[in-house]
Structure 1
C-alpha cells in the first residue's frame, strides 16, 4: 500500500497491526548519455512499490531530490544542500513517529545520499536522547538500505557487465530505471568505458573529469529486459534487509 494512495483511516488501520514503513529516497541528477535524470529515485521507488504489493508494507512518498551538487554542471540536475536534506529527513521521520511509526526504513538509490541520511539519523537520535528517558515517546528505529549494494543485484551486475558496470551511470541502474519508466534510450558511448576518478569535488571539476557524466561505466550494455531481472533481485535483497532490520530492533 502506498501512503499517498491511502486514506487516513486506512493508515490508522495499518498502524493497528504494523509500525513499520518503507521510504524510497534517491536523487534527480544526470546519468550519462542514455540514463534518465530520475534514475536514482526510480530504482528504489520501483523496488519499494513491489515490496509493498508483495508483502503488504506501507510505502511512503519518494524523496526524489537528494545531495547531488557535483552533478549541477549538467542540465536537469536538482540538488539540496546536505543541511537541507538533513532537515527534510528529520521532519519526515518525526512526522511519521508522531503518528506511531516506530520503524522507518529508507531504500536508497544514490550513493551521494548515504552520509547525509546517516547524519539525519544521528540528529534524530541525538534530539531524542537529549530530551531524556522520561519522555513518553516510543523507541524509534531507523534503517538504510542501498539497493545497488544488495548481494543478488551485485552478483547479477558482475555476471552481465563485469568491470564495465562502473560507479555512476552504471549499466544496472540504467537498466532498472528504463524498466521502471517503460522506456529505453540507446546511445553509442565514446569512449565505450568512461574514465574513473573521484566525485568529491565541485560541479565544474566533476564535468571536467567526466565530460559525459559517466564514471567507469558502459551503460550501452543496459536493457529494460535486464532491468526486470534487477527489480526482482532488488526486491529480494531489500525484503531480506527489511526483515533483518525489524528483527534487530524492538518490536513496534
Structure 2
C-alpha cells in the first residue's frame, strides 16, 4: 500500500519553540501547515501534590517541556497543555485539582475530534501523569468511534498515540542508575529534577526529607493521605538536581522524537 504523502513528508524542524506553539499560530498558518504535515502534539499533565517540596504543577510542566522539545526537533505543532488530569487520589493534599475520569475522557475526546475535523490525522499525546493513562486510552477509542459515526473525512486515517515521557526506556534506565530504589513511584527525583531545570526558583524548596512511606495500594484520597502522609511513595526528591533534569529532558525528547517520526510515517 502506498503511504499517504502528507504523512510521510515531515516538515523541516522549527528553529524555536515559538514556531511550533499552536496558540501562537493564526488559522491560515495552521491550514498551510496541514498541507505538509498531519501530526500534532498534545501535552497532558496533572495539577497535584508532589510531596512536601515538589511543585504542584510538576506533571503539567514536564509534559509541556518535553512536548515542546519534541515539537521543536520534529517541526510538529504543539497544542496548549491540558494541565488538569485524573488525580482523585491526591485530593487529600491542598492545591490538588482533579478531573473525574469521565470528565477527562470527555475533554480528550473533544480535543481529538476538534483536531481531526480540521485535518489532523496523527494525535501524539505526551503525558506526564500515570493516573491519566487508562482514561486517555479510553478517550482515544471513543474518539475513533465518534469520528466514524460523524462521517469525518479523516475518520479512517485518524490515529492517536499516548507517549508517557517518564516511562521512556532511556529515562527509566537513567533514573535507576542515578537514584536506584530511591526513585520511588511518586514525587520521584527524576521528575523533580526536570522541574528544577525548567524553573530554577524551585531549587529553594529542596531539603532533606525523612524516609518516605513505601508504595502500596490506593483506595481513595483519605486512604492515600493515611498511608503516605507527606505525599511521597518511596521517593527521595532531595537527590534531584537541575543538571539531572536537563539530561532527562534530552533523553525523553530523543526517545519520543523517534517514536513520533515513526508514528507520522505509519500507513493509515
Which residue is equivalent to 1:101? Answer: 120
Which residue of the other structure, out of 182, 188, 196, is the alignment partner of 1:164? Answer: 182
Say whether the 8 Å CA contact 2:88–2:99 is kept in structure 1.
yes
> 2: distance between equivalents of 1:43 and 1:136?
33
> 2: distance between equivalents of 1:246 and 1:219?
36
* Partner-residue secondary structure (3-state), 2:161: strand
Change (3 A) 1:82 1:211: same
* Cα shift at 1:34: 1.4
CA deviations on 1:99-138 (whole Å, 9 max, x unpaired) are 110110000000000000011011112224455xxx3521
What runs of 5+ residues in structure 2 fail to find an aligned partner? 1-19
Which residue of the other structure, out of 77, 97, 103, is the alignment partner of 1:84? Answer: 103
- Is 2:71 aligned against 1:55? no
Which residue is equivalent to 1:233? Answer: 251
When the two structures are aligned, how many residues end up with a matched partner? 245
Say whether the 8 Å CA contact 2:113–2:147 is kept in structure 1.
no
- Output aligned runs, 1:185-204, within 5 Å: 185-191=205-211, 193-199=212-218, 201-204=219-222
- Output aligned runs, 1:93-242, within 5 Å: 93-130=112-149, 135=151, 137-138=153-154, 139-183=157-201, 184=203, 185-191=205-211, 193-199=212-218, 201-242=219-260
Q: TM-score, normalised by structure 1?
A: 0.93
Say whether the 8 Å CA contact 1:26–1:65 is kept in structure 2.
yes
CA RMSD of aligned residues (A): 1.3
CA deviations on 1:42-97 (whole Å, 9 max, x unpaired) are 11110111122222110011011000010001001000010011111111111111
The structure 1 segments of at least 4 consecutive aligned residues displaced by more than 6 Å after TM superposition are none
Which residue is equivalent to 2:262? Answer: 244
Q: TM-score, normalised by structure 2?
A: 0.88
Say whether the 8 Å CA contact 2:225–2:231 is kept in structure 1.
yes
What runs of 5+ residues in structure 1 fail to find an aligned partner? none
> 1: distance between equivalents of 2:186 and 2:265?
32
